[in-house]
Amino acid sequence: MDFRDRHVVVTGGAGALGTAVVGTLIAAGAVCHVPCLTAADAERFPHRNHPQVKLVVGVDLVDEAAVSGLYDAVPALWASIHLAGGFSAAPIGETRKADLTRQLDMNLVTCFLCCRAAVTAMMRHTAGGRIVNVAARSALEWRTAAGMTAYAASKAAVAALTVALAEEVVGHGVLVNAIAPSILDTPANRQAMPKADHTAWPKVEEVAHTIAFLASPDNRVTRGSVVAVYGKS
């Protein structure tokens, strides 16, 4: 995959999956624009000093104006990859309206605003572009979402957004897809589930390669897909 001289926004780029995605992209020649909410997030990012990484600190992805400003500053945007989000699990009786709203903000609203800004930026040139969102296994297999209804609903909305937007913008050369991970093999997930079979979980580096392909010029035909990345789990 050749990303030389192509500009890519990666939200959630400082997280475990994001670090793997940015590493894959910069190895392929991309210039990665990575928004971080706080300076502490930026300081923890392993690729923060790489010359192909442009960190932007203080971007709240739920803030419409902040998201627009982020994308307005990216020259000739080629791809936008939306990894930012959050997880919460609780029985519905213990899930307040505020909890649901927070899941919708973290997962759906951030994705929607970034998709909208990315499409607007891509329309400024004629090269088309690529958008990759992140749904979840529970967004596709609803019966697995018992005890996490707010999270599953927010991620199912991301899946619907992806497919609808893919149909809307394909005529402009913009291909939109999403991935749907099961539990990713990260230090935080291992700590939370120490007795699980970690060998079955998909590795972030492997998932990063799937994301990079969907975001690459090599992807010429795949659109409107929510690609399962379950590993052996």
| Residue 215: band (very low, low, confident or very high) from pLDDT cuts 50, 70, 90 | very high
Residues 6+ positions from 57 with CB-CB distance below 8 Å = 35, 36, 37, 38, 39, 41, 42
Nearest alpha-carbon partner for 111 in 77, 155, 141:
155
Contact 130, 70 (CB under 8 A): no
pLDDT attached to residue 31: 98
pLDDT attached to residue 160: 98
191 pLDDT above the threshold of 90: no
Q: How far, in Å, CA of 115 to CA of 175, rounded?
A: 12
| Residue 42: band (very low, low, confident or very high) from pLDDT cuts 50, 70, 90 | very high
Mean pLDDT throughout 101-113? 98
Contact 54, 32 (CB under 8 A): yes
Tell which CATH architecture fits domain 7-229: 3-Layer(aba) Sandwich (3.40)
Percentage above 70 pLDDT, the chain? 100
Please provide residue 196's backbone torsions phi and psi, each rounded to the nearest 5 degrees.
-75, 165
Nearest alpha-carbon partner for 175 in 80, 82, 61:
80
Q: How far, in Å, CA of 111 to CA of 142, rounded?
A: 20
- Read off the pLDDT of residues 140-162 as tens digits, 9 standing for 90 and up: 999 999 999 999 999 999 999 99
Give every strand in the sheet of 77-82, ordered side by side.
53-57, 31-36, 7-11, 77-82, 129-134, 174-181, 226-229
Domain boundaries, the chain: 7-229
- Read off the pLDDT of residues 68-105 as tens digits, 9 standing for 90 and up: 999 999 999 999 999 999 999 999 999 999 999 999 99
186 pLDDT above the threshold of 90: no
Catalytic residues: 151
| Residue 197: band (very low, low, confident or very high) from pLDDT cuts 50, 70, 90 | confident
Q: How far, in Å, CA of 160 to CA of 107, rounded?
A: 13
Q: How far, in Å, CA of 54 to CA of 132, rounded?
A: 19
Greater pLDDT, 143 or 197: 143
Amino acid (1-letter code) at residue 59: V
Q: Is 40 left (phi over 0), alpha (psi -120 to 50) or beta?
A: alpha
pLDDT attached to residue 165: 98
